[in-house]
Amino acid sequence: MKQIERNLLTSSIIALDDAKYMIELINEQPESKLVEGRKETATKKIAIAQTFLNVLKMITCNHSKGKGDTTGITWHQVFNDNGKKLQSFKEITKRCDNCNQVFYRKRYNLMRKKKNV
């Protein structure tokens, strides 16, 4: 994991340096025909650097801050050809408060086992 973290951090630093260079060119030559293209390039480089930093945050998080928020509750039902319900369950997912990554997923069976009487 250390190598991946180092690569992500290095890549984000390089992208930010490229964006700074584009901004310096825009400030030095404001009447150039290439200003619009340089603005787009700088914006893209900043977005790439932010993405790398978000991925780095997700990788290094250990989800120890609280239990997170319940973000998804879904109900699933499976029927056969006659319309009889075969399966019914509820699935709950939780996301970490810190990195927003799914760390918990649990299914609850909504159909109780039938007793043979």
pLDDT digit string, tens, across residues 9-53: 999 999 999 999 999 999 999 888 889 999 999 999 999 999 999
**Class of residue 18 by CB neighbours under 10 A (exposed 0-12, middle 13-18, buried 19+):** middle
17, 36, 18: which is closest to 26 by C-alpha?
A: 36
Lowest-confidence segment of 62-71, 83-92, 102-111 by average pLDDT: 62-71
Q: Which residue has the higher pLDDT, 51 or 69?
A: 51
In a domain, 45, yes or no: yes
**pLDDT average, residue stretch 59-82:** 76
Instruction: Supply the range of the domain harboring residue 101.
Output: 69-109
In a domain, 114, yes or no: no
Judge whether residue 68 has pLDDT over 70. Answer: no
pTM for this entry:
0.57
Give the position of tokens 């007793």.
115
Q: Which residue has the higher pLDDT, 40 or 95?
A: 40
* Domain's final residue, options 43, 60, 77: 60
Q: What is the pLDDT of residue 60?
A: 79
| Residue count (the chain) | 117
- The count of domains in the chain is 2
In a domain, 117, yes or no: no
What tokens were used for 7? Answer: 């690569």
Q: What angle do CA 45, 50, 54 make, to 5 degrees?
A: 150
Which residues, at least 6 apart from 45, have a Cβ–Cβ distance to it below 8 Å?
A: 15, 16, 18, 19, 22
